Structure 1
Amino acid sequence: MTTLPPLKVAVNGPRLSCVIDVALALSPGGFLFTLRLAEEANVFLGRELWYALDSQDIESVDPAIRTEFRLWKLARVDAHLNGFRVFWVGDSRQESLLPEDIDKQFLQRYEKLAQILDEDAIENNGETWSLTDCDRSNLDTLALGGALMPYRPIIFTCNAPCSTLLEYIGRRMKLSQASEQSWHFARNQFHPLFFRNGISELLWHGLRLNVIHLIAPFAMVMPAIEPNKSYYWPESVDWEEENPVNGWEAAAAYWYSLDAFVQ
Protein backbone atom coordinates (compact mmCIF):
# COMPACT_ATOMS: atom_id res chain seq x y z
CA MET A 1 0.00 0.00 0.00
CA THR A 2 1.40 3.36 -1.03
CA THR A 3 1.90 5.88 1.74
CA LEU A 4 0.57 9.31 0.92
CA PRO A 5 2.82 12.29 1.66
CA PRO A 6 1.77 14.44 4.62
CA LEU A 7 -0.70 17.18 3.81
CA LYS A 8 0.79 20.66 4.11
CA VAL A 9 -1.46 23.68 4.32
CA ALA A 10 0.00 27.17 3.84
CA VAL A 11 -1.66 29.65 6.16
CA ASN A 12 0.50 32.66 5.39
CA GLY A 13 -0.83 34.80 2.58
CA PRO A 14 1.10 37.40 0.59
CA ARG A 15 2.45 40.36 2.52
CA LEU A 16 0.58 43.62 2.48
CA SER A 17 2.16 46.31 0.31
CA CYS A 18 1.88 49.67 2.06
CA VAL A 19 2.95 53.18 1.04
CA ILE A 20 3.80 55.80 3.68
CA ASP A 21 3.50 59.39 2.53
CA VAL A 22 6.02 62.02 3.61
CA ALA A 23 3.58 63.89 5.86
CA LEU A 24 2.93 60.72 7.86
CA ALA A 25 6.59 59.69 7.95
CA LEU A 26 7.49 63.05 9.51
CA SER A 27 4.47 63.27 11.83
CA PRO A 28 4.94 62.46 15.53
CA GLY A 29 4.93 58.67 15.74
CA GLY A 30 5.41 58.24 11.99
CA PHE A 31 8.87 56.69 12.29
CA LEU A 32 7.81 54.01 14.78
CA PHE A 33 4.60 53.35 12.84
CA THR A 34 6.61 52.66 9.69
CA LEU A 35 8.99 50.23 11.38
CA ARG A 36 6.29 48.39 13.29
CA LEU A 37 4.16 48.05 10.16
CA ALA A 38 7.24 46.74 8.34
CA GLU A 39 7.39 43.77 10.70
CA GLU A 40 4.58 42.17 8.69
CA ALA A 41 4.17 44.25 5.53
CA ASN A 42 6.32 45.46 2.67
CA VAL A 43 6.49 49.19 3.39
CA PHE A 44 7.46 51.61 0.63
CA LEU A 45 8.78 55.15 1.05
CA GLY A 46 8.92 57.74 -1.70
CA ARG A 47 12.24 59.33 -2.54
CA GLU A 48 10.84 62.74 -1.64
CA LEU A 49 11.40 61.78 2.00
CA TRP A 50 15.13 61.44 1.36
CA TYR A 51 15.13 64.72 -0.58
CA ALA A 52 13.53 66.43 2.43
CA LEU A 53 16.15 64.97 4.76
CA ASP A 54 19.01 65.99 2.46
CA SER A 55 17.80 69.53 1.79
CA GLN A 56 17.39 70.69 5.40
CA ASP A 57 19.30 70.59 8.64
CA ILE A 58 17.63 69.85 11.95
CA GLU A 59 17.82 73.45 13.22
CA SER A 60 15.82 74.76 10.25
CA VAL A 61 13.05 72.16 10.49
CA ASP A 62 9.64 72.93 11.97
CA PRO A 63 9.85 72.04 15.70
CA ALA A 64 6.66 69.97 15.32
CA ILE A 65 8.46 67.41 13.14
CA ARG A 66 12.00 67.83 14.44
CA THR A 67 11.98 64.58 16.44
CA GLU A 68 10.85 62.44 13.50
CA PHE A 69 13.23 64.27 11.18
CA ARG A 70 16.13 63.41 13.47
CA LEU A 71 15.00 59.79 13.82
CA TRP A 72 14.90 59.30 10.04
CA LYS A 73 18.29 60.99 9.66
CA LEU A 74 19.88 58.71 12.25
CA ALA A 75 18.20 55.58 10.89
CA ARG A 76 19.37 56.33 7.37
CA VAL A 77 22.97 57.16 8.28
CA ASP A 78 23.51 54.32 10.75
CA ALA A 79 21.62 51.70 8.71
CA HIS A 80 19.04 51.12 11.45
CA LEU A 81 16.51 50.27 8.73
CA ASN A 82 18.41 47.07 7.98
CA GLY A 83 16.37 44.05 8.95
CA PHE A 84 13.04 45.79 8.41
CA ARG A 85 11.00 45.37 5.25
CA VAL A 86 11.26 49.07 4.41
CA PHE A 87 11.83 49.79 0.72
CA TRP A 88 12.21 52.88 -1.41
CA VAL A 89 12.78 54.20 -4.91
CA GLY A 90 15.93 56.21 -5.49
CA ASP A 91 17.25 58.24 -8.41
CA SER A 92 18.52 55.06 -10.05
CA ARG A 93 18.08 51.33 -9.72
CA GLN A 94 21.32 51.19 -7.73
CA GLU A 95 19.97 53.74 -5.23
CA SER A 96 16.66 51.92 -4.84
CA LEU A 97 15.94 49.20 -2.31
CA LEU A 98 13.18 46.86 -3.49
CA PRO A 99 11.85 43.41 -2.55
CA GLU A 100 13.57 40.57 -4.37
CA ASP A 101 10.30 39.24 -5.73
CA ILE A 102 8.95 42.50 -7.18
CA ASP A 103 8.33 42.43 -10.93
CA LYS A 104 10.90 43.89 -13.31
CA GLN A 105 8.48 46.51 -14.67
CA PHE A 106 7.87 48.15 -11.28
CA LEU A 107 10.35 51.00 -11.64
CA GLN A 108 9.21 51.65 -15.19
CA ARG A 109 5.59 51.93 -14.08
CA TYR A 110 6.55 54.27 -11.27
CA GLU A 111 8.55 56.61 -13.50
CA LYS A 112 5.89 56.76 -16.20
CA LEU A 113 3.02 57.29 -13.76
CA ALA A 114 4.96 60.12 -12.11
CA GLN A 115 5.73 61.63 -15.50
CA ILE A 116 2.05 61.61 -16.49
CA LEU A 117 1.06 63.36 -13.25
CA ASP A 118 3.77 65.96 -13.77
CA GLU A 119 2.76 66.62 -17.38
CA ASP A 120 -0.92 66.87 -16.44
CA ALA A 121 -0.08 69.44 -13.76
CA ILE A 122 1.85 71.57 -16.27
CA GLU A 123 -0.96 71.28 -18.82
CA ASN A 124 -3.56 72.40 -16.26
CA ASN A 125 -1.49 75.21 -14.72
CA GLY A 126 0.77 76.46 -17.51
CA GLU A 127 4.42 75.86 -18.37
CA THR A 128 5.65 78.52 -15.93
CA TRP A 129 4.00 76.70 -13.03
CA SER A 130 6.22 74.57 -10.79
CA LEU A 131 5.45 71.92 -8.21
CA THR A 132 5.56 72.85 -4.55
CA ASP A 133 7.32 70.52 -2.11
CA CYS A 134 3.91 69.25 -0.95
CA ASP A 135 2.73 68.63 -4.51
CA ARG A 136 5.92 66.78 -5.37
CA SER A 137 5.62 64.61 -2.26
CA ASN A 138 1.98 63.85 -3.06
CA LEU A 139 2.85 63.08 -6.69
CA ASP A 140 5.58 60.74 -5.52
CA THR A 141 3.25 58.91 -3.13
CA LEU A 142 0.47 58.52 -5.69
CA ALA A 143 2.86 57.29 -8.41
CA LEU A 144 4.30 54.76 -5.97
CA GLY A 145 0.81 53.50 -5.14
CA GLY A 146 -0.04 53.21 -8.84
CA ALA A 147 3.15 51.30 -9.60
CA LEU A 148 2.24 48.82 -6.85
CA MET A 149 -1.20 48.07 -8.33
CA PRO A 150 -0.34 44.37 -8.96
CA TYR A 151 0.21 44.07 -5.19
CA ARG A 152 -3.04 45.73 -4.02
CA PRO A 153 -1.36 48.66 -2.26
CA ILE A 154 -2.66 50.43 0.83
CA ILE A 155 -1.60 54.06 1.22
CA PHE A 156 -1.29 55.49 4.73
CA THR A 157 -1.32 59.21 5.39
CA CYS A 158 -1.85 61.24 8.54
CA ASN A 159 -5.19 62.76 9.46
CA ALA A 160 -3.76 66.22 10.12
CA PRO A 161 -3.66 69.66 8.45
CA CYS A 162 -0.08 69.04 7.32
CA SER A 163 -1.26 66.31 4.93
CA THR A 164 -2.70 67.41 1.57
CA LEU A 165 -2.62 64.00 -0.10
CA LEU A 166 -6.39 63.50 -0.14
CA GLU A 167 -6.90 66.93 -1.69
CA TYR A 168 -4.21 66.18 -4.28
CA ILE A 169 -5.77 62.83 -5.23
CA GLY A 170 -9.23 64.38 -5.40
CA ARG A 171 -8.05 66.82 -8.07
CA ARG A 172 -6.84 63.98 -10.28
CA MET A 173 -9.42 61.22 -9.99
CA LYS A 174 -12.69 60.26 -8.38
CA LEU A 175 -12.13 60.18 -4.61
CA SER A 176 -14.85 58.81 -2.33
CA GLN A 177 -15.08 58.26 1.39
CA ALA A 178 -15.68 54.59 2.05
CA SER A 179 -18.94 53.47 3.61
CA GLU A 180 -19.40 52.48 7.24
CA GLN A 181 -19.48 48.83 6.17
CA SER A 182 -16.04 49.31 4.62
CA TRP A 183 -14.76 50.67 7.92
CA HIS A 184 -15.92 47.54 9.76
CA PHE A 185 -14.15 45.41 7.15
CA ALA A 186 -10.97 47.46 7.59
CA ARG A 187 -11.18 47.18 11.37
CA ASN A 188 -11.25 43.40 11.10
CA GLN A 189 -8.20 43.56 8.84
CA PHE A 190 -6.07 46.01 10.82
CA HIS A 191 -7.14 45.31 14.40
CA PRO A 192 -5.06 42.14 14.96
CA LEU A 193 -2.08 43.52 13.04
CA PHE A 194 -2.02 46.79 15.00
CA PHE A 195 -2.27 45.09 18.39
CA ARG A 196 0.24 42.41 17.49
CA ASN A 197 2.89 44.90 16.37
CA GLY A 198 2.42 47.66 18.92
CA ILE A 199 0.80 50.16 16.56
CA SER A 200 -2.26 50.55 18.77
CA GLU A 201 -0.34 52.44 21.45
CA LEU A 202 0.88 54.89 18.80
CA LEU A 203 -2.76 55.63 17.99
CA TRP A 204 -3.53 56.04 21.69
CA HIS A 205 -0.55 58.39 21.88
CA GLY A 206 -2.04 60.69 19.25
CA LEU A 207 -1.12 59.33 15.82
CA ARG A 208 -4.06 59.81 13.45
CA LEU A 209 -4.25 57.80 10.25
CA ASN A 210 -6.17 57.91 7.00
CA VAL A 211 -6.15 54.89 4.71
CA ILE A 212 -6.43 55.16 0.93
CA HIS A 213 -7.24 52.30 -1.43
CA LEU A 214 -6.28 53.01 -5.03
CA ILE A 215 -7.86 51.54 -8.16
CA ALA A 216 -5.84 52.12 -11.34
CA PRO A 217 -6.40 49.21 -13.77
CA PHE A 218 -4.59 50.82 -16.70
CA ALA A 219 -1.43 51.10 -14.61
CA MET A 220 -1.12 47.33 -14.94
CA VAL A 221 -1.15 47.27 -18.75
CA MET A 222 1.16 50.13 -19.67
CA PRO A 223 3.77 49.15 -22.29
CA ALA A 224 7.29 48.39 -21.15
CA ILE A 225 10.15 50.74 -21.93
CA GLU A 226 12.76 49.61 -24.40
CA PRO A 227 15.68 48.02 -22.50
CA ASN A 228 18.23 50.55 -23.79
CA LYS A 229 16.20 53.56 -22.68
CA SER A 230 16.68 55.41 -19.42
CA TYR A 231 13.58 55.50 -17.23
CA TYR A 232 14.68 57.59 -14.30
CA TRP A 233 12.24 60.47 -14.02
CA PRO A 234 12.34 63.45 -14.65
CA GLU A 235 14.37 62.54 -17.75
CA SER A 236 12.22 62.18 -20.85
CA VAL A 237 11.19 58.65 -21.72
CA ASP A 238 10.63 57.34 -25.23
CA TRP A 239 7.55 55.17 -24.82
CA GLU A 240 5.81 53.23 -27.55
CA GLU A 241 3.73 55.77 -29.44
CA GLU A 242 1.40 53.25 -31.03
CA ASN A 243 -1.72 52.76 -28.94
CA PRO A 244 -0.47 54.81 -25.96
CA VAL A 245 -1.83 53.93 -22.54
CA ASN A 246 -2.46 56.45 -19.76
CA GLY A 247 -1.99 54.56 -16.53
CA TRP A 248 -4.32 56.94 -14.69
CA GLU A 249 -7.28 56.40 -17.02
CA ALA A 250 -10.38 55.29 -15.09
CA ALA A 251 -8.48 55.59 -11.80
CA ALA A 252 -10.37 56.05 -8.54
CA ALA A 253 -9.60 56.03 -4.83
CA TYR A 254 -11.46 55.34 -1.59
CA TRP A 255 -10.43 56.51 1.85
CA TYR A 256 -11.44 56.20 5.49
CA SER A 257 -10.11 57.30 8.84
CA LEU A 258 -8.77 54.96 11.52
CA ASP A 259 -9.70 57.36 14.33
CA ALA A 260 -12.30 54.87 15.55
CA PHE A 261 -9.45 52.70 16.82
CA VAL A 262 -8.99 55.10 19.71
CA GLN A 263 -12.65 55.66 20.51
Structure 2
Amino acid sequence: MLITPLFSQLDSKQWICVLDPALALSYYGVHIAQQLGEIMELWIARELWHILNNTKFYLQQPELLIPKSTLNDKAPEQDRATLESVIWSLQEWKRLQSENDLLGLNLFWLGDSLRESLLPKGTTIKLLPRWEYLARLLDRCINQSQGTNDTLMASFRDTIALSASLGSAFILSYQKPTDFSHNRPPDICKALENLGISCELVSAQDRIVALESEYLRQLMIYTGLAKLLWEGLHLCVIHLVTPAVPAFETMSKGSGSDNCADDPEDSGNFPELKGDLWINAKAFWYKL
Protein backbone atom coordinates (compact mmCIF):
# COMPACT_ATOMS: atom_id res chain seq x y z
CA MET A 1 0.00 0.00 0.00
CA LEU A 2 1.28 3.44 -0.87
CA ILE A 3 1.47 6.21 1.70
CA THR A 4 -1.96 7.81 1.99
CA PRO A 5 -2.59 11.22 0.40
CA LEU A 6 -3.03 12.82 3.83
CA PHE A 7 0.43 11.84 5.00
CA SER A 8 2.05 12.31 1.61
CA GLN A 9 1.42 16.02 2.06
CA LEU A 10 3.44 16.07 5.29
CA ASP A 11 7.17 16.48 5.46
CA SER A 12 8.46 13.30 7.09
CA LYS A 13 11.30 15.33 8.60
CA GLN A 14 8.68 16.85 10.91
CA TRP A 15 8.28 13.50 12.62
CA ILE A 16 10.35 13.48 15.81
CA CYS A 17 11.30 10.15 17.34
CA VAL A 18 13.18 9.44 20.57
CA LEU A 19 14.80 5.99 20.68
CA ASP A 20 14.14 3.92 23.77
CA PRO A 21 17.57 3.02 25.25
CA ALA A 22 16.54 -0.63 25.50
CA LEU A 23 15.78 -0.69 21.76
CA ALA A 24 18.96 1.24 20.92
CA LEU A 25 21.02 -1.32 22.86
CA SER A 26 19.31 -4.33 21.29
CA TYR A 27 20.44 -6.28 18.23
CA TYR A 28 18.28 -3.98 16.12
CA GLY A 29 19.30 -0.61 17.53
CA VAL A 30 22.05 0.52 15.16
CA HIS A 31 20.22 -0.63 12.03
CA ILE A 32 17.04 1.15 13.09
CA ALA A 33 18.94 4.36 13.87
CA GLN A 34 20.64 4.32 10.48
CA GLN A 35 17.46 3.70 8.52
CA LEU A 36 14.96 5.87 10.39
CA GLY A 37 17.38 8.78 10.44
CA GLU A 38 16.83 9.05 6.69
CA ILE A 39 13.19 10.03 7.07
CA MET A 40 12.68 11.60 10.49
CA GLU A 41 14.39 13.57 13.23
CA LEU A 42 15.89 10.98 15.55
CA TRP A 43 16.99 11.65 19.13
CA ILE A 44 18.81 9.71 21.82
CA ALA A 45 18.84 10.73 25.48
CA ARG A 46 21.87 12.07 27.36
CA GLU A 47 22.49 9.04 29.55
CA LEU A 48 22.36 6.77 26.52
CA TRP A 49 24.90 9.03 24.82
CA HIS A 50 27.12 8.72 27.90
CA ILE A 51 26.85 4.93 27.61
CA LEU A 52 27.78 5.00 23.93
CA ASN A 53 30.74 7.24 24.72
CA ASN A 54 31.96 4.76 27.34
CA THR A 55 31.61 1.51 25.44
CA LYS A 56 34.91 0.17 26.80
CA PHE A 57 33.58 0.31 30.36
CA TYR A 58 30.19 -1.22 29.53
CA LEU A 59 31.68 -3.92 27.35
CA GLN A 60 33.40 -5.09 30.53
CA GLN A 61 30.20 -4.81 32.60
CA PRO A 62 27.25 -5.30 30.19
CA GLU A 63 25.04 -6.51 33.04
CA LEU A 64 24.72 -2.86 34.11
CA LEU A 65 22.60 -2.29 31.01
CA ILE A 66 20.11 -5.08 31.67
CA PRO A 67 17.11 -4.85 34.03
CA LYS A 68 17.76 -6.93 37.13
CA SER A 69 14.31 -8.47 36.84
CA THR A 70 15.24 -9.73 33.37
CA LEU A 71 18.31 -11.53 34.65
CA ASN A 72 16.52 -12.95 37.68
CA ASP A 73 13.71 -14.44 35.61
CA LYS A 74 15.87 -16.26 33.10
CA ALA A 75 17.93 -19.41 32.92
CA PRO A 76 21.73 -19.03 32.72
CA GLU A 77 21.78 -19.69 28.97
CA GLN A 78 19.17 -16.99 28.42
CA ASP A 79 21.19 -14.61 30.58
CA ARG A 80 24.18 -15.21 28.34
CA ALA A 81 22.13 -14.55 25.22
CA THR A 82 20.88 -11.26 26.67
CA LEU A 83 24.39 -10.18 27.62
CA GLU A 84 25.71 -11.15 24.19
CA SER A 85 23.03 -9.00 22.57
CA VAL A 86 24.08 -5.95 24.59
CA ILE A 87 27.78 -6.57 23.89
CA TRP A 88 27.14 -6.92 20.17
CA SER A 89 25.08 -3.72 20.13
CA LEU A 90 27.76 -1.74 21.98
CA GLN A 91 30.36 -2.92 19.49
CA GLU A 92 28.12 -1.88 16.60
CA TRP A 93 27.56 1.58 18.06
CA LYS A 94 31.30 1.95 18.57
CA ARG A 95 31.89 1.00 14.94
CA LEU A 96 29.19 3.41 13.77
CA GLN A 97 30.74 6.30 15.68
CA SER A 98 34.19 5.61 14.25
CA GLU A 99 33.02 5.26 10.65
CA ASN A 100 30.30 7.88 10.30
CA ASP A 101 29.49 11.54 10.79
CA LEU A 102 26.53 11.29 13.16
CA LEU A 103 25.15 14.56 11.83
CA GLY A 104 24.72 12.79 8.52
CA LEU A 105 22.61 10.15 10.27
CA ASN A 106 20.11 12.80 11.41
CA LEU A 107 20.76 11.59 14.98
CA PHE A 108 20.66 14.23 17.71
CA TRP A 109 21.19 14.51 21.46
CA LEU A 110 21.50 16.93 24.38
CA GLY A 111 24.90 16.68 26.04
CA ASP A 112 26.17 18.12 29.30
CA SER A 113 26.37 21.53 27.62
CA LEU A 114 25.42 23.08 24.31
CA ARG A 115 28.95 22.49 23.05
CA GLU A 116 28.54 18.76 23.69
CA SER A 117 25.10 18.61 22.09
CA LEU A 118 24.11 17.94 18.52
CA LEU A 119 20.90 19.79 17.64
CA PRO A 120 18.92 20.06 14.41
CA LYS A 121 19.39 23.31 12.57
CA GLY A 122 17.10 25.99 13.94
CA THR A 123 16.50 24.33 17.33
CA THR A 124 16.30 26.85 20.16
CA ILE A 125 19.05 26.45 22.74
CA LYS A 126 16.35 26.87 25.37
CA LEU A 127 15.62 23.18 24.82
CA LEU A 128 18.53 22.36 27.15
CA PRO A 129 17.25 24.06 30.35
CA ARG A 130 13.75 22.81 29.54
CA TRP A 131 14.97 19.22 29.42
CA GLU A 132 17.20 19.63 32.48
CA TYR A 133 14.30 20.90 34.56
CA LEU A 134 11.97 18.07 33.56
CA ALA A 135 14.67 15.46 34.21
CA ARG A 136 15.41 16.88 37.67
CA LEU A 137 11.76 16.61 38.61
CA LEU A 138 11.80 12.92 37.72
CA ASP A 139 14.91 12.41 39.85
CA ARG A 140 12.75 12.78 42.95
CA CYS A 141 11.06 9.48 42.17
CA ILE A 142 14.05 7.42 41.09
CA ASN A 143 15.12 6.41 44.61
CA GLN A 144 11.70 4.86 45.10
CA SER A 145 11.94 2.77 41.92
CA GLN A 146 12.31 -0.97 42.24
CA GLY A 147 13.52 -3.64 39.83
CA THR A 148 15.53 -1.36 37.53
CA ASN A 149 19.22 -0.70 37.86
CA ASP A 150 20.50 2.86 38.19
CA THR A 151 22.07 3.10 34.73
CA LEU A 152 18.94 2.01 32.93
CA MET A 153 16.69 4.10 35.13
CA ALA A 154 18.76 7.18 34.35
CA SER A 155 18.51 6.37 30.64
CA PHE A 156 14.76 5.93 30.84
CA ARG A 157 14.42 9.14 32.86
CA ASP A 158 16.37 11.10 30.27
CA THR A 159 14.35 9.60 27.42
CA ILE A 160 11.02 10.40 29.06
CA ALA A 161 12.09 13.97 29.85
CA LEU A 162 13.44 14.45 26.32
CA SER A 163 10.21 13.28 24.74
CA ALA A 164 8.22 15.71 26.89
CA SER A 165 10.67 18.52 26.12
CA LEU A 166 10.34 18.05 22.37
CA GLY A 167 6.56 18.19 22.57
CA SER A 168 5.44 16.35 19.44
CA ALA A 169 7.96 13.51 19.76
CA PHE A 170 7.06 9.88 20.28
CA ILE A 171 9.21 7.18 21.85
CA LEU A 172 9.99 4.15 19.72
CA SER A 173 10.35 1.09 21.94
CA TYR A 174 9.97 -2.67 21.72
CA GLN A 175 8.80 -5.68 23.68
CA LYS A 176 11.27 -8.43 24.40
CA PRO A 177 9.97 -11.82 23.19
CA THR A 178 9.07 -12.93 26.73
CA ASP A 179 7.21 -9.67 27.39
CA PHE A 180 5.36 -9.99 24.09
CA SER A 181 4.32 -13.59 24.76
CA HIS A 182 3.05 -12.67 28.24
CA ASN A 183 1.47 -9.41 27.03
CA ARG A 184 3.71 -7.30 29.28
CA PRO A 185 4.66 -3.71 28.44
CA PRO A 186 8.17 -2.60 27.42
CA ASP A 187 10.66 -1.90 30.21
CA ILE A 188 10.37 1.86 29.69
CA CYS A 189 6.63 1.63 30.43
CA LYS A 190 7.48 -0.11 33.70
CA ALA A 191 9.90 2.76 34.41
CA LEU A 192 7.12 5.28 33.74
CA GLU A 193 4.92 3.50 36.28
CA ASN A 194 7.77 3.53 38.80
CA LEU A 195 8.05 7.28 38.25
CA GLY A 196 4.36 7.73 39.02
CA ILE A 197 3.24 8.13 35.40
CA SER A 198 0.61 5.62 34.30
CA CYS A 199 1.25 3.94 30.96
CA GLU A 200 -1.92 2.66 29.31
CA LEU A 201 -2.10 0.19 26.43
CA VAL A 202 -4.29 1.41 23.57
CA SER A 203 -6.03 -1.21 21.46
CA ALA A 204 -5.07 -1.73 17.84
CA GLN A 205 -8.77 -1.20 17.07
CA ASP A 206 -8.55 2.44 18.17
CA ARG A 207 -9.01 4.61 15.06
CA ILE A 208 -6.11 6.95 15.85
CA VAL A 209 -3.79 4.02 16.54
CA ALA A 210 -4.87 2.39 13.28
CA LEU A 211 -4.15 5.56 11.31
CA GLU A 212 -0.77 6.33 12.87
CA SER A 213 0.49 2.76 12.98
CA GLU A 214 -0.43 2.23 9.33
CA TYR A 215 1.68 5.21 8.33
CA LEU A 216 4.59 4.17 10.54
CA ARG A 217 4.49 0.67 9.07
CA GLN A 218 4.65 2.21 5.61
CA LEU A 219 7.74 4.12 6.71
CA MET A 220 9.21 0.81 7.89
CA ILE A 221 8.64 -0.59 4.42
CA TYR A 222 10.09 2.52 2.79
CA THR A 223 13.28 2.30 4.87
CA GLY A 224 13.70 -1.44 4.48
CA LEU A 225 12.95 -2.22 8.13
CA ALA A 226 9.86 -4.35 7.47
CA LYS A 227 11.95 -7.51 7.45
CA LEU A 228 12.80 -6.92 11.11
CA LEU A 229 9.10 -7.20 11.93
CA TRP A 230 9.00 -10.56 10.16
CA GLU A 231 12.11 -11.60 12.05
CA GLY A 232 10.30 -11.11 15.37
CA LEU A 233 10.92 -7.49 16.40
CA HIS A 234 7.88 -6.31 18.37
CA LEU A 235 8.00 -2.53 18.06
CA CYS A 236 5.91 -0.25 20.25
CA VAL A 237 5.07 3.45 20.13
CA ILE A 238 4.73 5.53 23.31
CA HIS A 239 3.13 8.96 23.51
CA LEU A 240 3.35 11.20 26.58
CA VAL A 241 0.55 13.53 27.60
CA THR A 242 1.97 16.36 29.72
CA PRO A 243 -0.69 19.06 30.12
CA ALA A 244 1.42 21.13 32.54
CA VAL A 245 4.42 21.34 30.19
CA PRO A 246 4.20 24.50 28.05
CA ALA A 247 4.17 24.00 24.31
CA PHE A 248 7.71 23.97 22.99
CA GLU A 249 7.03 26.56 20.30
CA THR A 250 5.55 29.09 22.75
CA MET A 251 8.26 29.10 25.42
CA SER A 252 9.23 32.63 26.36
CA LYS A 253 12.50 33.97 24.99
CA GLY A 254 13.71 34.75 28.50
CA SER A 255 15.12 37.94 29.87
CA GLY A 256 18.80 37.00 29.69
CA SER A 257 21.18 35.97 26.96
CA ASP A 258 20.99 32.55 25.38
CA ASN A 259 24.12 31.60 27.32
CA CYS A 260 21.93 30.98 30.34
CA ALA A 261 20.98 27.68 28.72
CA ASP A 262 24.42 26.40 29.71
CA ASP A 263 23.34 26.51 33.37
CA PRO A 264 20.49 24.01 33.86
CA GLU A 265 20.05 25.12 37.46
CA ASP A 266 19.21 28.64 36.32
CA SER A 267 15.54 28.47 35.35
CA GLY A 268 14.89 32.03 36.53
CA ASN A 269 14.96 33.32 32.96
CA PHE A 270 12.21 30.89 32.01
CA PRO A 271 9.02 31.50 34.00
CA GLU A 272 7.47 28.37 32.42
CA LEU A 273 9.97 26.21 34.34
CA LYS A 274 8.26 26.41 37.71
CA GLY A 275 6.40 23.88 39.82
CA ASP A 276 5.70 20.24 39.05
CA LEU A 277 5.33 20.09 35.28
CA TRP A 278 4.68 16.33 35.49
CA ILE A 279 1.38 16.79 37.31
CA ASN A 280 -1.44 14.86 35.59
CA ALA A 281 1.04 13.37 33.10
CA LYS A 282 0.06 10.10 31.44
CA ALA A 283 1.51 7.84 28.80
CA PHE A 284 -0.15 5.70 26.15
CA TRP A 285 1.44 2.92 24.18
CA TYR A 286 0.47 0.60 21.40
CA LYS A 287 1.98 -2.29 19.49
CA LEU A 288 3.16 -1.37 16.02
Q: Deviations over 1:117-170 (max 9, x none)?
A: 113435x57xxxx97111101101101101111xx1110112126952101112
1:168 aligns with 2:186: no
Provide the rounded CA distance (Å) in 2 between the counterparts of 1:131 and 1:68: 19
Provide the rounded CA distance (Å) in 1 between the counterparts of 2:17 and 2:221: 17
Secondary structure, counterpart of 1:220 in structure 2: coil
Change (3 A) 1:248 1:137: same
Provide the rounded CA distance (Å) in 1 between the counterparts of 2:245 and 2:24: 25
1:255 aligns with 2:255: no
Contact in 1 for aligned 2:103/2:118 (Cα 8 Å): no
Contact in 2 for aligned 1:47/1:90 (Cα 8 Å): yes
1:99 aligns with 2:120: yes
Structure 1 runs not aligned, ≥5 long:
1-9, 259-263
Contact in 2 for aligned 1:15/1:40 (Cα 8 Å): no
Change (3 A) 1:229 1:241: closer
Q: Which residue of 2 aligns with 1:153?
A: 169
Change (3 A) 1:247 1:196: same
Change (3 A) 1:247 1:170: same
Instruction: Using the TM superposition, name which of 168-177 and 18-27 deviates more.
Output: 168-177
Identity of aligned residues (%): 28
Q: Which residue of 1 aligns with 2:59?
A: 58
1:197 aligns with 2:220: no
Provide the rounded CA distance (Å) in 1 between the counterparts of 2:270 and 2:9: 44
Change (3 A) 1:230 1:97: closer
Residue 97 of structure 1, CA deviation:
0.5
Provide the rounded CA distance (Å) in 2 between the counterparts of 1:90 and 1:35: 20
Contact in 1 for aligned 2:59/2:87 (Cα 8 Å): yes
Provide the rounded CA distance (Å) in 2 between the counterparts of 1:66 and 1:21: 17
Contact in 1 for aligned 2:44/2:108 (Cα 8 Å): yes
Q: Using structure 2 for the length normalisation, give the TM-score.
A: 0.73
Provide the rounded CA distance (Å) in 2 between the counterparts of 1:193 and 1:241: 37
Amino acid at match of 1:29: Y
Contact in 2 for aligned 1:17/1:154 (Cα 8 Å): yes
Contact in 2 for aligned 1:154/1:213 (Cα 8 Å): yes
Q: Which residue of 1 aligns with 2:79?
A: none
Q: Using structure 1 for the length normalisation, give the TM-score.
A: 0.80
Residue 251 of structure 1, CA deviation:
1.4
User: In proportion to residue count, which structure has more helix?
Assistant: 2
Q: Which residue of 2 aligns with 1:11?
A: 9
1:106-255 equivalent positions in 2, closer than 5 A: 106-122=127-143, 132-149=150-167, 152-160=168-176, 164-171=187-194, 172-179=196-203, 180-181=205-206, 182-220=208-246, 227=257, 229=260, 231=262, 236-239=265-268, 244-255=274-285
1:26-37 equivalent positions in 2, closer than 5 A: 26-37=25-36
Change (3 A) 1:195 1:242: closer
Structure 2 runs not aligned, ≥5 long:
1-7, 63-82, 180-185
Amino acid at match of 1:135: M
Residue 242 of structure 1, CA deviation:
7.8
Secondary structure, counterpart of 1:39 in structure 2: coil
Q: Which residue of 1 aligns with 2:4?
A: none
Change (3 A) 1:132 1:225: farther
Provide the rounded CA distance (Å) in 2 between the counterparts of 1:247 and 1:78: 40
Provide the rounded CA distance (Å) in 2 between the counterparts of 1:24 and 1:232: 31
Q: Deviations over 1:177-204 (max 9, x none)?
A: 1132243223322122111111101222
